[in-house]
Structure formats: C-alpha cells, structure tokens
Structure 1
Amino acid sequence: MAKFIITCDEATTICDKSQYGEATLFEKIKLNAHFILCKICGLYSKQNTKMTEIYKMKAHDCKNEQHCLSSEEKEHLKKELQESEA
C-alpha cells in the first residue's frame, strides 16, 4: 500500500505528465489514489486541465492570425540593432 502513497510534489509532477500523455498507468493510479486524500491536488488537476484547454484554444486562434512585421517595422528594427551594436 505504501507504493501508492505519494507527496503533493510528486502528484503535481504526475498531473503535468498526464496532461501531455507522458504518465504511466501506475503513475495515474497513484495520482488518483492521492486525489482521494488530497482535495487541493485534485483542484490543481482540474485547474491545470482547464488552463491547457484555454491555451489550446488560444493557440488555434493564433494560427489564423498573421504574425509578420511590415517592411517599415523590419527597417526600424534593423536600425535599432545596428545602433545597439555601435
């Protein structure tokens, strides 16, 4: 039974790994056992999942936007870099 007891630090690490599909089945079992005892880590997991969803939505939105500098902005940046090197 002691193999299933983990600290909150270990739980958050496993939670983060689980979000990206990197946690093993045994780690997930230990994490869920920890959630029974620690409601704070359960809340962390829920918040972490929600933040990941929000970031994924934002990343999807950003792909649709153009992120290029105009010619004027490029020239201005080039001048600033040259001035800082001098």
Structure 2
Amino acid sequence: MKKSFLFISCEEAKHICDKSQYGEATGWERIKLALRLSWCRVTKAYSNKNNKLTDTIEHAKVDCLNTDERDKIKHQFEEELAKHQ
C-alpha cells in the first residue's frame, strides 16, 4: 500500500502535534497536521489536551527549593538515616 504524502496517521499527527508545541515542526508538517485536525476527532482532542497542558505549565506559579535549602534537607535526611542504622 502506498503511503500518502499528504494524509498522515493518527500516531504521526500526535508526534507532529508534540513537535509543534515546542516549535520543532516544519511548515510542511504543520500543514499536514492542520489537514488531519480538520477531520479527525481523536487527533483534535489530543491537540486540545496538549494545548491545555502547555498553557497550564506556562502559567503555573511553582516555587522550587534553591540549592542551599535542598542541601540542608539532604543533610538532615542523611543524619536521620545514620542514627537509625
């Protein structure tokens, strides 16, 4: 069976969707994805969920431990571990 150069599988569309989220998809890939999104409900749902996840991560206000705090916790953990051995 000859593979179509314009119509892509759902799996390939999902891969291109992921690449597109990070700006790694080529123009031709984005065209093929747009064509697939125009008629495939499964790919469209995947793309919508992917967009929501990306937006959530970009707007998340996450405070991470700095290096000093992490080292202090690690040191306390190692001390407690040494006590119980």
TM-score, normalised to structure 1, is 0.75
Name the one with the larger helix percent. Answer: 1
Q: Which residue of 2 aligns with 1:33?
A: 35
Aligned pairs, number: 79
Gap runs ≥5 in structure 1: none
CA distance in 1, matches of 2:20, 2:42: 17
By how many angstroms is 1:37 displaced?
2.5
Shift >4 Å, 4+ stretches: 80-84
Specify the code of the residue in structure 2 equivalent to 1:3: F
> What root-mean-square deviation, in Å, do the aligned CA atoms of Structure 1 and Structure 2 show?
2.4
Gap runs ≥5 in structure 2: none
Listed as ranges, the matches of 1:29-68 within 5 Å are 29-58=31-60, 61-62=61-62, 65=63, 67=65, 68=69
Q: 1:78 to 1:37 in 2, by over 3 A?
A: same
TM-score, normalised to structure 2, is 0.76
